[in-house]
Amino acid sequence: ELKVEQNPLFLSMQEGKNYTIYCNYSTTSDRLYWYRQDPGKSLESLFVLLSNGAVKQEGRLMASLDTKARLSTLHITAAVHDLSATYFCAVLKETSGSRLTFGEGTQLTVNP
Amino acid sequence: NAGVTQTPKFRVLKTGQSMTLLCAQDMNHEYMYWYRQDPGMGLRLIHYSVGEGTTAKGEVPDGYNVSRLKKQNFLLGLESAAPSQTSVYFCASSYEVLQGSNQPQHFGDGTRLSIL
């Protein structure tokens, strides 16, 4: 059974600081996704990582994938208040009917 | 573009009542999914469909049924609602997952369901 674990689950940081969210998964995967969710809202796709060593960046967020370590990271650079949200990683296995297994989510609060 | 549309957005039911949640997508996606989101547990897959006329069980299917009679619609039914089914329900859709494809699942805005 595929398990996906994120840490930390709660993160409070100051504006301007850097931090990393970690996503570990238990079996081999075909691709990894990062989503953002604002309170009471839907999930917004941030990144799709397909292969070992993949790195994608959008603004102050950068995601990477190490399939050998079964680890993905979401790095936040010089955080701003607008990045406050819950971030989910999710892992897909094509052999499971293309089902996504989600981590518990990391609730990020960026304080002025 | 409407994307993925869920109806209703809010609903309160009494224990034992039945209801159907509707998900409609206008992106011609093959795959559709129903998830539930509970505090501290991320999203869990209830049922999914890989094409019109097909359905399959996900991680937490008990107490729910689904149907995909048309490609653009995916219905989630609760035959006899229970308080444990109080949750936020999300529908998602995607293209067929092909090797090398980087298409994500697209999510609706959610249905907030309370069972009293």
Number of helices (H), then strands (E), in chain B: 0, 11
pLDDT tens digit string along B71-116?
999 999 999 999 999 999 999 999 876 665 677 889 999 999 999 9
**A5: Cβ–Cβ under 8 A, 6 or more apart, which residues?**
A23, A24, A25, A103, A104
Of residues B42, B56, B104, nearest to A33 (C-beta): B104
Smallest CA–CA distance, residue A51 to chain B, in Å, is 9
A1, closest residue in chain B (CA to CA): B59
DSSP conformational letter for A60: T
Interchain contact, B103 vs A48, CB within 8 Å: yes
pLDDT tens digit string along A26-54?
988 778 999 999 998 999 999 999 888 88
Q: What is the largest CA-CA distance in chain B?
A: 46
pLDDT tens digit string along A90-109?
998 766 667 889 999 999 99
- Summary mean pLDDT of chain A: 92
Nearest to residue B90, comparing CAs of B1, B9, B2? Answer: B9
- Residue A74 CA to its chain's centroid (Å): 5
pLDDT interval class at B1 (50, 70, 90): low
pLDDT tens digit string along B11-62?
999 999 999 999 999 999 999 999 999 987 789 999 999 999 999 999 999 9
Of residues A30, A99, A105, nearest to B58 (C-beta): A99
pLDDT at position A99? 82
A&B contacts, CB < 8 Å: 61
Which residues of A fall within a CB distance of 8 Å from B44? 102
pLDDT interval class at A70 (50, 70, 90): very high
CB count within 10 Å of CB A52 equals 11
Q: CB contact, 8 Å: A51 with chain B?
A: no
**Cα gap A2→B80, rounded to integer Å:** 30
Q: CB contact, 8 Å: B39 with chain A?
A: no
Nearest to residue B72, comparing CAs of B10, B43, B29, B14? Answer: B29
